[in-house]
Amino acid sequence: MLSYRTQRSCTMLVFVMVLASIMLAQTKSETRIIKTLYGRTPDGAAVDLYSFSDGKIEAGVITYGGIVVSLRTPDRNGKLADIVLGCNSLEEYIAQTAHFGGIIGRYANRIAHGTFQLDGHIYSIPKNNGDNALHGGPRGFDKVVWTAQPLPDGVELTYVSKDGDQGFPGTLTTTVRYTLRNGALRIEYSATTDKDTVINLTNHSYFNLAGEGNGEILGHVVKIKSSRITPLNASLIPTGEIKSVVGTPFDFRKPHAVGERIDADDPQLRFGLGYDINYVLDHPRKLEEAAEVYEPTTGRILRVLTDQPGIQFYTGNHLDGTITGKNGHVYKKRFALCLETQHYPDSPNHPNFPSTELKPGEKFHSVTVYEFSAGTR
């Protein structure tokens, strides 16, 4: 017969084991991942939706374009709402050209005249933005189906872009990880090549912290940790200058409402029809806060952290009411803002900009984090 002390020890051991199993189950349930069929492309390729939550925020990502189709975050009262613009179906995502929520590559932003020179060779990218190539050409990374693999806290996507794809040199293998943890969406980009090439990857989510389709974002209060921009010409191509924001409507080093100066008499605002400019981030190339957005009516706060040298601030100036988005919402001008972490636009044609070249044996790696909270300012 067991002694009282032994019986008590066994009882305590059982209790601890049960408690540990409950805690483990709770931990495992913190990130729930559900895979469902989202649709099929015209050529029959299956597109899956990965839905996952960390208990604080919820995200949905499809394998077509790596598009973030939903991102639900709480307001100051704990009420969840979807804060990214998007479409109702795969067919609509394929048809739209606003790049809603997609992985942008091989080269985010614009390349002047669709050409650049590398290793003595001239490469031509199909023009899809006037005389320029935009976001990797007409069939960029947000217009292809990625291979997916679930992660403990999200999903990993992989795409192999063959040598000559959209005119770019080298076979580029790209991996993008979307994960949720502690109320933050982390995007981790990696890529390798078998031939000298150029690369610039970002995510093109359109944010409205009041809720997608819930009016203009002119009341959103923005702060950007940058004292310089790369000014543009009338074709939205960098002039090659790096210019101070001091005394201009582009100075967001202290918080300002988006609508406070968006219609000021400034050539850069006229060219972009609002804010559509690359900011040269002040921080060194390590993961640090680059920008913050506060929406007063809901209290939602978005902090953007990145290790990239630039961030494109865009205020949805080309949304013109012709796109009916989620829940029947019509997306009009300035109904969202984008904060696209990146290298500078047209860098291959500007030797004074940070290099975007990637060589065999090297690995491109970058991290961007979108942190969400809510409160009163």
To the query of whether residue 204 is one of the catalytic residues in this protein, the response is yes
Selected catalytic residue, list 204, 256, 329, 350: 204
Residue with tokens 């630039």: 310
Catalytic residue among 256, 340, 343, 350: 340
92 counts as catalytic: no
Where does residue 211 fall: left (phi above 0), alpha (psi -120 to 50 degrees), or beta otherwise?
left
CA atoms within 13 A on the CB side of 14: 6
Rg (C-alpha) for the chain, rounded Å, is 23
CB 305 within 8 A of CB 290: yes
User: CA geometry: angle at 64 spanning 149 and 44, to 5°?
Assistant: 100
| Whole-number Å distance between alpha carbons of 252 and 259 | 12
Catalytically active residues, by annotation: 204, 340
